[in-house]
Amino acid sequence: MIVVRLVKRLGRRLSTRRWPAILIALASAVVTYALFLYFIFAYYLADDPRLVPDTFRHARRPVLITAHPDDETLFFSPSILYHRHDPHVTRSLLVISSGNYNGIGEQRQTEIHNSCAALGISLDHCVVLDHPELQDNPKKWWDERLVEEIVASYIKKWEADLIMTFDEGGISGHINHRAVSAGIRKYVTAKENAPPAFTLQSTWLLRKYSSLMDLIPSTVPFLWKILKNPVSPATIPGNPKSADRSLVLATGKESILLVSSWKTYLESRAAFGQHESQYSWDRMLYLVISRYMWFNTLERI
C-alpha cells in the first residue's frame, strides 16, 4: 500500500510538470549515473578481480589478433593498453591483412607500426601480413584454416599466454573480422594447450554509439557480482583463486570489463592519430561516441 501511494503521489507531481522539464531531468539523471559508473569502474575498481579474472590479469605475453590496421585502436584500445606500463608484460599485435582494399596497403602498414609505437608495442611484436589469400575485402570470407595456421605459428613464436580477438559478430559485422574470429575459434578448440582466448563482445547499433551511456546496461552483471561478493577476492588471505570463480556468470563463461581512464583514453586517441589515411569527420565523431573507445567487455571462448 505504501508503494502504491508513493507511485500515485509521483504521478500527480509529474502530471503538473511540463514534459520537456521531465525529460531534461531524466536525461540529467542518466548522464550523472553513467559518469558515476565511469569513475567507479575506471578508477576505484580498475583491475579488480571481480571484473578481470586471473587468467587475464596475470597474462605476461598477451597477443591481440585483428583483421585490418586501425582495428587495434577503434575497437580494442582498453584491451591492448591493459597493463601497458608493466615491465613484465610483453604485448603483441598480429594484423591479418594490410588493409589494401583501396590500394593504400603500404601506407597503412607504416601507420600500424607508428600506432604500435604509440601503444608501447615493440616493432618485432607488431606484425602486419599481406597474404594473397587474406586481402582486405568486405565481400570475401577468409579461409578459416589458413587463419588458424597463421595464428598458431605466431602464438608459438611469441609464446603467447593470452589471445584477444573479435567475437562472432565482428563488432562492425565486417566479414573479415568474423572470419578471423572463426579461425581463432578453430585453433582454440583444436589445440588442447591453446592459451585462454577472449573475444570482444558486439552490441547493437544504438549501444555501440552511446559512449559512456552504455556503461549502464554493460555493468549490470558485474554490479550483481560485486553485490554478491562485496569484498574483493584479492583481499581474502589464502584464497587467491576465488577471484576466477567469482567472475563466472550463470552461463559458465568468464567475462571481463575494462574501462579506460581519461589518460588511457587520450593514449588510444593518440595511437589512432597515427592512422592518417583513416582520419575523417566521422572517425573524429566515433572517437567520442563509440563505447569501444572507452571500455571493452570480453568473454572467454
- In angstroms and rounded to an integer, the radius of gyration of the C-alpha atoms of the chain is 21
In the chain, the number of structural domains is: 1
**Residue 39 belongs to a domain:** no
**Residue 10 belongs to a domain:** no
Q: Which domain holds residue 114?
A: 54-208+254-300
pLDDT digits (tens, 9 = 90+) for 137-156: 999 999 999 999 999 999 99
Listed in sequence order, the residues at least 6 apart from 107 whose beta carbon sits closer than 8 Å to its beta carbon are 277
Per-residue cell: 224: 550483481
Per-residue cell: 162: 593470452
Residue ranges of the chain with per-residue pLDDT less than 50: 237, 240-244, 246-247, 249-251
**Residue 20 belongs to a domain:** no
pTM, to two decimals: 0.86
Do 265 and 84 form a contact (C-beta atoms < 8 A)? no
Given this model, what pLDDT does residue 243 score?
Answer: 46
Angle, CA of 120, 218 and 160, to the nearest 5°: 35
Q: Calculate helix-pair angle for 262-272, 105-119, nearest 10 degrees.
A: 160
DSSP 3-state percent helix, strand, coil across the chain (nearest 5): 50, 10, 35
**Residue 11 belongs to a domain:** no
- Strands of the sheet with 162-166, listed across from one edge: 126-128, 92-95, 62-66, 162-166, 197-200, 295-300, 255-259
**Residue 87 belongs to a domain:** yes
**Residue 166 belongs to a domain:** yes
Listed in sequence order, the residues at least 6 apart from 196 whose beta carbon sits closer than 8 Å to its beta carbon are 55, 56, 59, 161, 162, 163, 300
Given this model, what pLDDT does residue 233 score?
Answer: 62
What is the rounded CA–CA span in Å between residue 296 and residue 284?
Answer: 19
Given this model, what pLDDT does residue 239 score?
Answer: 52
pLDDT digits (tens, 9 = 90+) for 220-277: 999 888 888 776 665 554 554 444 454 454 445 799 999 999 999 999 999 999 999 9
Given this model, what pLDDT does residue 237 score?
Answer: 47
**Residue 84 belongs to a domain:** yes
Q: What is the CATH number of the domain that holds 68?
A: 3.40.50.10320
Given this model, what pLDDT does residue 14 score?
Answer: 59
**Residue 128 belongs to a domain:** yes
CB-based burial label for 85 (10 Å; 0-12, 13-18, 19+): exposed
Given this model, what pLDDT does residue 250 score?
Answer: 41
